[in-house]
Structure 1
Amino acid sequence: MCGIAGAVWWEPSKRIDRDVLQRMTDAIQHRGPDAEGHWQAEPNDSHECGVALGHRRLSIIDVAGSAQPLGNHDGSIQIVFNGEIYNYRELRQDLIAAGHLFRTEGDTEVIVHLYERHGLNFVDHLRGMFALAIWDSREQQLVVARDRLGQKPFFYRMDDGRFSFASELKALLQIPGIPRQLNRRSVLSYLMLQYVPAPHSILEGFQRLPPASLGVVKNGEFTIKRFWTPPYDQPQSSKNTINDWREELRHEMTEAVRLRLRSDVPLGAFLSGGIDSTVITGLMQQQLDQPVQTFSIGFPVAAYDERHYARQASEMLGTDHHEAVVNPDALSILPQLIWHYDEPFSDSSAIPTIYLSRMTREHVTVALTGDAGDELFCGYDRYRAVRMAHKMDLTPRAIRKLAASAAAYLPTSVRQKSFLRRLKRLLETMGQNEEERYLNWISIFSRSRLQQLVSPELHSLTANHDPAACLFDAYKMFPNRDLVTRTTAVDVETYLPNDLLTKVDIASMHVGLECRSPMLDHKVVELAARMPLAVKQSVRQGKLVLTETFRDLIPPDIQTRKKMGFGVPIDHWMRNELKPLLYDVLLSKKCEERGLLNPAAVRQLVEEHTSSKFDHAYRLWNLLCLELWHRTYLDDVPPLTAPTSL
């Protein structure tokens, strides 16, 4: 894991000098605390473009070697690379057999030789997570790529005369004269989804390279193509029982874990006590000759504490378990969270992920995780709600509209995830089409609430821009699968890379911890995508095939436990320690003068929540992160290091 930054330019006025490149890599020093490297080439008679490549290194493989930027034998190809290629040993053997000579023992040089041999098709051979840039001086082109699922970030900006890129937006903002102008359409998407979806960014002119994308900068133009898509359009319906999939799933998962155990530094695992992390830890323990170091955190509030399940898993699997009770200080972590995430990002589970990463980094440098199990194997309760609502859609539309009207008469629960509140939300959406209904369920601000919340000027942008367009575009990708499977595919395309993987990458890399996710191995994803719904989900339960296949690794209580989100009690915070901040920040003149929000609507949210009339915790957290982001990134020049106070 590392941080990368750089640029290629063909206009002399757009040159990136050594001092600027240094500032770019300094801004992401936390991603690579072990070493740094820079490489530059100025335009000359044979080279039309100037190039600057920078790298910050977290040493995992070939610790003593593989310094970046790294070149081929004659220096005509240079690479900066963030991530891990887990099958690098097998690829290296093939390349040596084909006559390639190696100077290092790491995975970075393997990519260079793959590019020499296969050209732009080199990405097809990579099994891992990556964001990279390759400068090819012979072809005078910069090749950039991002891994299939979007585990590693890649921001870029295409200007007249220059293409610049970095692992994090803050590095690009170190370029002198680069504009910091708010993308108001992205604000609408953020308010609805709690993240800014790729390829967009919160700032005008900046973009994210989408997952599974390969881009080429050549002759002043930038072209992108998608090199992989999960095969949800290739179902294997003939294999319709769990037994049909058990052996293959066990093999692919075991292999994915085996490859991710390759490390020259200490490694461990996040162990929450859920099915996914327990399975990954169990497969690790089966392949290692010493106890796996596992890590979990808990909170004083019982509703947010899973430690007893993590202990059960640890005892059954025989791990060396570490746990800690965390009493999060929201006021101290907020400024750091805002700075590290670069853009408004309001998934509050980033907070416990940050604390877990800090504790884990005290013991190991690499941690395996169970990320993506819910999306791949139908783990979320909302997928069962999709199934239930789909069956209810068979009733006449008039009856469904009547049910939606009747929902208004149900009492409103103050608790965000109560049964009554979920029932009310289900009935309210019965008159909507299936895709719009799902959007309503996952939105922070639904369409109707968004209209009430934002200023008329901001809302007018929705006439030509749907804030949730990414969701509906994803639904169109696999029209022939059942609704639940299509919905899980939508989450793999949107929620997984834009929210969950962003959350884990930033939270872990802020302390130089590398997180590896075996379920994100593209072989595992391809297998899960081809599975019929029947082996994943019943009316009452999800993750059927996963649980049955690995029943020997999962304690009985965990097999049947109700899913618990990885969260913090922000509803309580906002009625107590964060209450003054809500009033000082969200109801401030500075916030009002931005012209984005309706002050009366914001005040109503604050007062309803603080008086316990309604639970608006996630909405208020969303707005708080947006305003604090403005103050950190737009009102002033963002600092080079994370601030310690608001």
Structure 2
Amino acid sequence: MCGIVGVIFTDKHKKLDEHVLQKMNRSMIHRGPDDEGYFFESGAALAMRRLSILDLEGGKQPLYNEQRKIVSICNGEIFNHLTLRTQLEQHGHQLRSHSDAEILPHLYEEEGRHFVKKLRGMFGLAVWDSEKRKLLIARDRMGQKPLYWAEVNGAFLFASELKALLNYPELHPRLDMLAVQKYLAFEYVPAQASIFEGIHKLEAGHMLTWQEGKISIEQYWDIPCEGELTHISEEDALSELRQRFEEAVNIRLMSDVPLGLFLSGGIDSSVVLAAMAKMLPPQQIKTFSMAFSEKSFDESSHARLVANHFGTQHHEELCTPETLLGLIPEIGAFLDEPLGDASIVPTYALSKFTKKHVTVALGGDGGDELFAGYPTFKAEEYAKIFQRLPHFVRAAVKKIVKHLPVSDENISFDFKAKQFLRGADVLDASKHFLWMGSFSSEEQTALLQARSFGSDLFLHDINRHQMVAASASVGNGLLYLYKKLYLQDDILTKVDRASMAASLECRSPFLDHHFVEFVAKLPYHFKYRHGNLKYLLKKAYENELPASIVNRPKKGFGIPVAKWINGPLREMTCDLLSPARLAKQGIFNPKTVQGLLERHFAQKEDNRKQLWTLLAFQQWHDHYMK
């Protein structure tokens, strides 16, 4: 795992100051504390930070072909590198190390830009062809590893993290107000945009080619929306699911450093452990979980149950409110785009704890988006019933829910009911992003001091993905949206930044593209059936896990935001959202924000999501806009 950065000039005679590239590269030292590497020539400069995982001594980057005319740098892991290495050696290529990334310049030499299609892994990579003065950058199929790019004054810049680009002296980006609107709606900024004008995210499954100042972007892979396996039997689906999933787990066990597993006690991480236990002696498997003193958020007893069931080396840390609160300023510093998902706090705490014991951790990310694991999939069914009710009945329900007593417990009934009503009248899939997000278009009108875009312009991101998924069934089309938006730009962003800030590599077998292709083609009733979430996944492993784990409802990995804003976070909240600060900043309407705060403090409303989204933005703004 690494961080990569590069600068390519249209003027082939121009040279980059080495100190500039070093500063850009070292801004990502957390991604690779073990080593750094540089490549300089007239018109081009590449660099990387390395977290050593495979071939600890010989895997230094950049890496070259035999003639040293093709140069590559890579952040991530190529899990099928041994197969590709054998093929390359049969074609006469000479590889000098055992690093998975060394195949890249040789594979590019053989296949051209299509080499990316042969890779199985998680990666953000770059290949520079010196003779052709051609650059190719690519991002893995599901978006596990990030890649940003920008153009400025005849220079093309790219990096694993936005903060590296901000260290380029000629780049002075402005806040993108459309991106701010998207952030307020989704709680993240969807790719292709970033929070800054002129800086872009390369989307998952895409490659970008630069040559002589001209850029072309091409999609080399997508989640399949056609070819649904309508005639597959449940027995065959179960058999193939287990075979494909366990193979995906197996190839992710390769490592020359200690390896473990994030174990929450939920179905996804428990299934990963069930597969690992078939490949490794369970007593050698290290599992990691967090315990919380706030009981409605604590899942540690479930994690212990699963660990004891398999007999793993289980490690658990009690996370106090003081510990978690102390991490918030650190998170504000390393997140170079605002992210309104409060679960980044315990994810970072878990990553720091896990890093004390191992350098690589497997996890269960992606299971919810593949198998319909969120309560919103049940809510979709309830919304259809709600929409058929007479208008006066719906109005009465809304009035009753509005007056429910406010609770600050985790996913309390009043919170769920009020969130449901935010999108219950909406007929299309955008209701899901009202349920998952923070501020609707109407709420943004009151919140933003200046709004120069159409009220529904942020829906462009939903609509363009819906158009691609038009040929899929309704349920599978909805899952496609979750994978392209919430998974890519919230969950995977959160996991990458939190784990990399702790110099820990995270791997998710659920995101293996062979497994994703199979599951995406399964009929929706294998995922959601009669109110049962993740039907087929649970069925596949129900005999290998404790029944209480298979049948327990999803809890989520959160923190008591509602309670903390009224308690230990109150001072920070009032400071970051003070009327004077907001007026000087000129983005948010102080009166609207004060109303949200006052009603939350008085426990008249539970505004945890809106207030945390604003707090996360203000933390980011303090670090990156001053």
Give the TM-score range, shorter chain. over 0.9
The structural deviation recorded for 1:432 is: 2.3
Superposition pairs of residues 270-309 of structure 1, within 5 angstroms: 270-289=262-281, 290-309=283-302
Aligned match of 1:462: 454
- Tell me the alpha carbon deviations over residues 467-486 of structure 1, each in whole angstroms, 9 at most, x when there is no partner: 23212222222123333322
The structural deviation recorded for 1:419 is: 3.0
- The structure-2 alpha-carbon separation of the partners of 1:421 and 1:305, relative to structure 1 and needing over 3 Å to count, comes to closer
Superposition pairs of residues 168-567 of structure 1, within 5 angstroms: 168-239=161-232, 241-289=233-281, 290-329=283-322, 330-390=324-384, 393=387, 395=388, 399=390, 403-404=394-395, 406-410=397-401, 411-415=403-407, 417-427=411-421, 429-455=423-449, 457-458=450-451, 460-462=452-454, 466-567=457-558
CA distance in 2, matches of 1:470, 1:611: 36
Which residue identity is paired with 1:590? Answer: R
CA distance in 2, matches of 1:3, 1:67: 13
Which residue identity is paired with 1:549? Answer: A
The structural deviation recorded for 1:147 is: 0.2
- Segment drifting more, 379-388 vs 22-31: 379-388
CA distance in 2, matches of 1:157, 1:119: 24
CA distance in 2, matches of 1:430, 1:507: 33
Task: State the number of aligned residues.
Answer: 621
The structural deviation recorded for 1:246 is: 0.8
The structural deviation recorded for 1:175 is: 1.1
Aligned match of 2:83: 90
State whether structure 2 residue 598 is matched by structure 1 residue 604. Answer: no
Q: Is the 8 A contact 1:404 1:428 kept in 2?
A: no
The structural deviation recorded for 1:409 is: 4.2
Superposition pairs of residues 113-152 of structure 1, within 5 angstroms: 113-152=106-145
Q: Is the 8 A contact 1:357 1:508 kept in 2?
A: yes
- The structure-2 alpha-carbon separation of the partners of 1:427 and 1:509, relative to structure 1 and needing over 3 Å to count, comes to closer
CA distance in 1, matches of 2:326, 2:422: 39
Long gaps (5+) in structure 1: 43-49, 636-646
- Tell me the alpha carbon deviations over residues 81-116 of structure 1, each in whole angstroms, 9 at most, x when there is no partner: 000000111111111122221111111111221111
Classify the secondary structure of the residue corresponding to 2:88. helix
Q: Is the 8 A contact 1:591 1:627 kept in 2?
A: no
Q: Is the 8 A contact 1:155 1:206 kept in 2?
A: yes
CA distance in 2, matches of 1:404, 1:167: 49
Which residue identity is paired with 1:415? Answer: S
RMSD of aligned residue pairs (Cα, Å): 1.7
The structural deviation recorded for 1:421 is: 4.1
Aligned match of 2:575: 584
CA distance in 1, matches of 2:273, 2:423: 39
Aligned match of 2:37: 37
Aligned match of 2:25: 25
- Segment drifting more, 589-598 vs 333-342: 589-598
- Tell me the alpha carbon deviations over residues 210-265 of structure 1, each in whole angstroms, 9 at most, x when there is no partner: 100111001211110101111122211111x4313011111111110110011111
Q: Is the 8 A contact 2:184 2:613 kept in 1?
A: yes
The structural deviation recorded for 1:590 is: 2.6
The structural deviation recorded for 1:40 is: 0.4
Classify the secondary structure of the residue corresponding to 1:195. coil
The structural deviation recorded for 1:13 is: 10
State whether structure 2 residue 1 is matched by structure 1 residue 7. Answer: no
Q: Is the 8 A contact 2:335 2:620 kept in 1?
A: no
CA distance in 2, matches of 1:529, 1:438: 19
Q: Is the 8 A contact 1:435 1:472 kept in 2?
A: no
Classify the secondary structure of the residue corresponding to 1:207. strand
CA distance in 1, matches of 2:526, 2:365: 20
The structural deviation recorded for 1:551 is: 1.7
Which residue identity is paired with 1:533? Answer: Y
The structural deviation recorded for 1:428 is: 5.5
- Segment drifting more, 272-281 vs 230-239: 230-239
CA distance in 1, matches of 2:460, 2:584: 28
CA distance in 2, matches of 1:270, 1:317: 14
State whether structure 2 residue 617 is matched by structure 1 residue 623. Answer: no
Q: Is the 8 A contact 1:400 1:431 kept in 2?
A: no
The structural deviation recorded for 1:425 is: 4.3
The structural deviation recorded for 1:348 is: 0.5
The structural deviation recorded for 1:430 is: 4.0
CA distance in 2, matches of 1:286, 1:177: 53
- Tell me the alpha carbon deviations over residues 571-625 of structure 1, each in whole angstroms, 9 at most, x when there is no partner: 1111011111222220142322222111111001111111211111121111111
Which residue identity is paired with 1:630? Answer: H
Q: Is the 8 A contact 1:401 1:431 kept in 2?
A: no
Which residue identity is paired with 1:525? Answer: V
Q: TM-score, normalised by structure 2?
A: 0.96
Which residue identity is paired with 1:180? Answer: P
- The structure-2 alpha-carbon separation of the partners of 1:331 and 1:535, relative to structure 1 and needing over 3 Å to count, comes to closer
Q: Is the 8 A contact 2:422 2:434 kept in 1?
A: no
CA distance in 1, matches of 2:396, 2:432: 18
Q: Is the 8 A contact 1:401 1:430 kept in 2?
A: no
- The structure-2 alpha-carbon separation of the partners of 1:14 and 1:497, relative to structure 1 and needing over 3 Å to count, comes to farther
- The structure-2 alpha-carbon separation of the partners of 1:132 and 1:295, relative to structure 1 and needing over 3 Å to count, comes to same
CA distance in 1, matches of 2:235, 2:586: 58
- Segment drifting more, 298-307 vs 330-339: 330-339
- Tell me the alpha carbon deviations over residues 164-210 of structure 1, each in whole angstroms, 9 at most, x when there is no partner: 01111111111113103111111111111111111111111111111
CA distance in 2, matches of 1:561, 1:412: 26
- The structure-2 alpha-carbon separation of the partners of 1:413 and 1:525, relative to structure 1 and needing over 3 Å to count, comes to farther
- The structure-2 alpha-carbon separation of the partners of 1:139 and 1:437, relative to structure 1 and needing over 3 Å to count, comes to same
- The structure-2 alpha-carbon separation of the partners of 1:400 and 1:472, relative to structure 1 and needing over 3 Å to count, comes to farther
Classify the secondary structure of the residue corresponding to 2:369. helix
- Tell me the alpha carbon deviations over residues 353-375 of structure 1, each in whole angstroms, 9 at most, x when there is no partner: 00100111001100000100011
Q: TM-score, normalised by structure 1?
A: 0.93
The structural deviation recorded for 1:420 is: 4.0
- The structure-2 alpha-carbon separation of the partners of 1:244 and 1:390, relative to structure 1 and needing over 3 Å to count, comes to farther
Aligned match of 1:639: none
CA distance in 1, matches of 2:395, 2:500: 45
Q: Is the 8 A contact 1:272 1:306 kept in 2?
A: yes
- Tell me the alpha carbon deviations over residues 300-339 of structure 1, each in whole angstroms, 9 at most, x when there is no partner: 0111111111111111112110001001435532221111
